[in-house]
Amino acid sequence: MKWIFSVLALALFSVVSGSPLEKRAGPNDTANIGYATLNGGTSGGSGGTVTTVSTLDALTAAVSGTGKKIVIISGTITGNTVVRVGSNTSVLGKSGATLNGVGLRVLDASNVIIRNLKINKVLADAGDAIGIQNASKVWVDHVDLWSDLSHDKDYYDGLLDITHGCTEITVSYSRLHDHYKGSLVGHSDSNGSEDTKITVTYAYNVFSNVNSRTPSFRFGKGHIYNNLFENNGDGINTRVGAQLLVENNVFSNCKKPLYSTDGGYAVARGNDFGGGANTAPSGTLNSVPYGYSLVSSGSVRSSVSGAGATLSF
C-alpha cells in the first residue's frame, strides 16, 4: 500500500506546484504547445524510418533530405561544423546525448522537431548552436544549450537564432545558459520584408547567466510565457516593430527584464520582474491563435524544473 500513497503524494505535489508529472517521451511525439501546433501542427518524422547515430558522418547523412525520418543521437559527437536538417525530420537525443562543437541548422525546411539534446561550444566560424532560417513548423523542446563567458563575445555565435521569416516556431522546456548572445529573432533591422511574418513561442524555458538576447526580437510576433530568467544582462528586447505578449515570467537579478529599442512593443501581464522595470511601450498583441494554460508567476520555478535534456526515449 505504501507505493499507492507515494504515487498519490507525488501527484498531489504536481497539482499544487503547477508542474505536471514528466512522462517518458516517445519518438513519434508531435508538437503540443505554442505556434508550432497551428495549421496541421508539427509532426517531424513521426511514423517514418528510425535511425540511431553516434558519429558526425552518420548524423549528417541521416538528417538530410525531405523524407519522413526519426534520427536518434547516442553518446557524444564532436566537431566544428553545423549539420543541416531536412524537412519532415525528428532529431532526438538519448539520455546524455551531446553535440560538442556541432550545431544544427534548419534552413529552407519545414516540419522539424529537435528534442532532448545537449549542444555546447559551437564556434562562431561554424555557426549557431541551433540556427533556424526561412523555416516553418519547428519545435525545439527539452534542449540544453551553452558555451562559456571566458572567451570574447564573438568567439561563439548565438545559442538559438530564428531568422529570415520563420513561422510557427515553438521553443519549450529548454535551458540556455553561460553564453554571451542567447537567442536572436529577426535577421537585421533592414530585413522587415521577410521578418514581419515571424511567429515564435517561448514557453517554460530557463535563461541563466546569459549576457544578452533573452531573446532579442525584431519584427513579427512573439509569445513569451512562464519562463525563468536568472542572472542575465539584457532581458527581453522588443525591437523594430516587434509585437510581443509577455505573460507570467519570473526574473531574478536581471538588469533590464523587458525593454524596447527602435520602436518595439509588448503587452506585459502577470510577470514578476524581480524589482526591475518594464520599459517597453504597450503593444497590440493581446491574444494568440492557439490555446494555452498559464501557471502563476509563483509556480514558474517548479514548472521549469524539468527543463533541459531531461527526457527518456
- List, by residue number, the catalytic residues: 213
CB atoms within 10 A of CB 218: 27
Question: φ and ψ at 198, to 5 degrees?
Answer: -60, 135
Cβ proximity of 128 and 162 under 8 Å: no
Give SS3 for 54.
Answer: coil
- Of residues 142, 105, 121, the one with CA closest to residue 29: 142
User: Residues 302, 230, 266, 184: what is their CA dihedral angle, to the nearest 10 degrees?
Assistant: -110
AA identity, residue 174: S
CA 38 from centre of chain: 17
In whole angstroms, what is the distance from residue 16 CA to residue 26 CA? 26
